[in-house]
Amino acid sequence: MEKKIINTTNAPAPIGPYSQAVQIGGLLFVSGQVAINPATGNIDATDVIGETHQVMHNIKAILSEAGMDFSHIVKTTIFLSDMSLFATVNEIYGKYFQSNFPARETVAVKGLPKNVNVEISVTAGK
């Protein structure tokens, strides 16, 4: 199977040696997204609510570039700076899915890139 790199200017450019997403066959592996606004290159969100929405918008842009949407997501991983943010992030995250929710794990970590509070990676398939 051929590996295809997915890249869009509608999501933040990678801040390291990785791709926004890699597609192989019908699977799409989206790298962890943080709340970088692709238009400014900055973290414009002022709270975890804004961060989570920006992360989901970034994921949406990458999925769209690959011809997919949230219904194609089969697995997510959510990284939080503090587990006390879980309920807020979970509520916003849930609004981006209609049904048949993906498998998921959520973990709290000591630190995230750019000192954000939330990072989400996904795997999608069609």
Dihedral sign, CA of 8, 12, 13, 14? negative
Over residues 89-105, mean pLDDT: 96
Residue 1 pLDDT > 90, yes or no? no
Residue 102 pLDDT > 90, yes or no? yes
| pTM, rounded to two decimals | 0.96
Domain spans, the chain: 3-125
Alpha-carbon distance of 52 to 56, in angstroms, equals 6
Domain 3-125 bears CATH identifier 3.30.1330.40: yes
Look at residue 27 in the predicted model and tell me its pLDDT: 98
Look at residue 108 in the predicted model and tell me its pLDDT: 97
pLDDT bracket for residue 15 (50, 70, 90) = confident
Look at residue 106 in the predicted model and tell me its pLDDT: 98
Over residues 63-90, mean pLDDT: 98
Q: Three-state SS string across 46-94, please?
A: CCHHHHHHHHHHHHHHHHHHCCCCHHHEEEEEEEECCHHHHHHHHHHHH
pLDDT above 90 covers a percentage of the chain that reads: 96
Measure the CA angle with vertex 42, ends 38 and 48; round to 5°: 95
